[in-house]
Structure formats: C-alpha cells, structure tokens
Homo-oligomer: A and B are copies of this chain.
C-alpha cells in the first residue's frame, strides 16, 4: 500500500521526481489520467484552498471526489483502544476509516494537531490510523505533523523562479499572529527545502523551536541532497543573501502552553512582522512566499504582499500541480 502523508514517503529522489512531473504537466496537461478514479476527501478541519485544489485535480483529471466535512468538532471520532464510548464521540476510527475505504479508491485527510503536546502532534495519531486502517492509499491534506503538499508547492515555486534549488539559500522566518498555530506548514517547508538541496535557514524567537524529530529528519535529507539546515535567532544572519523568504506564524514549542499564555508569548514578538525592510535584508532578487491565509499587517505587511517579490498566488496555484502528480501516483492513473 502506497501512502503520501509525509515527505518521508517520497524521500529526496521522490521529491525531485514529483516536481519534475509537475513542471512538465504545467506545460502540457495530462488529460483524463484519473478517469474512473474516486477520491474520498475527509475534513476534520475546514478548508477552502485545499478543498478546491484537490477537487480540481480530481475533476480535471477525469476522476471524481466525494467531500466529507466532519466539521468543527460536531462529529468526533474516538481513537482510544478500549474506550467506553459514553461521551461525545459516537464512532470509533476502527469502524469509520475502513468503511470509508470500501467506497473509494483513495482517501485524502485533513486533521490538525491538538496543540497540547508537541510530541503527540509529531506522532500524528489520526493520520497514522488512516494509514493503518484505510485499506486504500491515503494522502495528507495537512495533519498534526506535516502539510507535505504545501511543502512541495512551495519548493516548486522556488524552483520555477530560479531554475533549480541546489545550494540555494532560503529563509523560513517565524511571524507574529493573534494566536498559536500548528507547526505542520513550517515543518513541511523545512523538510522539502532540505530534500531539494537548499541551504535552509530557520529563524524564530527563542521558545518557538520546531519539533526536534522534524529538524533531525531535515538534517538527514540535507546530507543526502547536498543541502544544509541551520537554525538561528538572528534575523540579519538568516536573511543575508537569501533568495526566498518564507514567512509563517506558529505557536510556542513548549507542550501544553495555555492559549492565553501562548498568545502573550507571541505578542512579545510583534516586531517580527515581515516588512519591506525585512525583505531588503535578503538578496536583491529574493522572492516572498507564504502558504496563505495570511493576516496582513500582523504577519506580513501590505508592501510585501502587494510587492513585486511576492509569489503567494503562484504558490497556491502550485498546490494543484503537485497534487495532480501525487494523485496520479497513488491512484495509479494512466499518465505515470
């Protein structure tokens, strides 16, 4: 059973192969390569961009998608073994997942971390259960640990601008927000850029560390790809000569920080807002990236998003292009 829920499912060579194919299909679309294929899309958290890009990839490929919105906590799945299910979770994943797998050719799943325990989120319990129980291939639309389709779209955008990513200095910079956010997106940019051979600089205030297991995995990819990963708290150092500046808000590293306390810790670093001055510290031809949605003038200033360096709309479009390739592989489409 093939799955794609983390960059580790592709590895360094797999990442390159997906991007090669995605670039080729941007020039010439693959036609009805997914004819007769049915994707089940399960959302534990709402989505607009992910929903539209995945569904478009299936429909434009001649396939179909069923969209199942579990909703904002309305219908909850129990995942504890041996639970006496007398609470607010009317169904166990042991039934829900294999049943859905009987109706479709693959399952796409979006689930967020609980943001209570970094190690628990990095262990990715809901996505792991889908891999184990689905009976069909599983693809991630973002989970507690990673958002790998986003990472691939990010790297494709960098590659399109500069022709390649080998030894390219890129910066992932923490940004402020009104509340703590999951780490899946920064994890995935880090992993994908490292796999792509970039010289990755991660910069954030002290106390906002990414998960150590993900950092170690990124270092592993960098050794294979000829890239590098460096973590710093010094923005000047992180930005100097960088060709791509990726801004993203995420919550404190410490497990189980109360939401109010976490928001206060974030608010102490409002000056990390990414402005024109920030971008000016990078290389003269640097591009700006963000996964969206972005809170303007909280995370990133208007002048950056509306400026010539921004590639955020192209980056969002690239979600479609990389997902089309991944779905073809998972569903054994006729094009690959």
B-binding residues in A (CB < 8 A)? 38, 40, 46, 48-49, 51-53, 55-56, 59-60, 64, 66, 68, 70, 72, 74-75, 78, 81-86, 90-92, 94-96, 98-100, 102-104, 178, 292-298, 302, 305-306, 312-313, 316-317, 320
Contacts and interface: CB of A to CB of B under 8 A. Distances in A.
Given A46-B75, A305-B94, A56 B103 contact: yes
Given A75-B48, A95-B313, A295 B102 contact: no
Nearest to A317: B102
Q: Looking at A178, A293, A317, which has the most chain B CB atoms within 10 Å of its CB? A: A293
A68 B104 CA distance: 21
A301 to B, nearest CB: 10
Given A100-B52, A102-B317, A104-B52, A294 B95 contact: yes
A97 to B, nearest CB: 10
A16 to B, nearest CB: 24
15 contacts: A38-B60, A46-B75, A48-B70, A52-B68, A82-B297, A85-B295, A85-B297, A86-B178, A90-B293, A92-B293, A94-B296, A95-B294, A95-B305, A102-B313, A102-B317
Give chain A's interface secondary structure class.
mixed
The 3 closest A-B pairs by CB, nearest first: A91-B293, A102-B317, A85-B295
A101 to B, nearest CB: 9
B99 A49 contact: yes
Contacts of A48: 68, 70, 75, 96, 100
A297 B81 CA distance: 11
A293 B104 contact: no
Nearest to A320: B103
A313 B98 contact: yes
B292 A99 contact: yes
A99 B313 contact: yes
Contacts of A293: 90-92, 95-96
A1 B96 CA distance: 36
A215 B253 CA distance: 60
B295 A86 contact: yes
B56 A68 contact: no
Given A74-B46, A293-B91, A85 B298 contact: yes
A3 to B, nearest CB: 20
A91 B86 CA distance: 37
A163 to B, nearest CB: 22
B95 A312 contact: yes
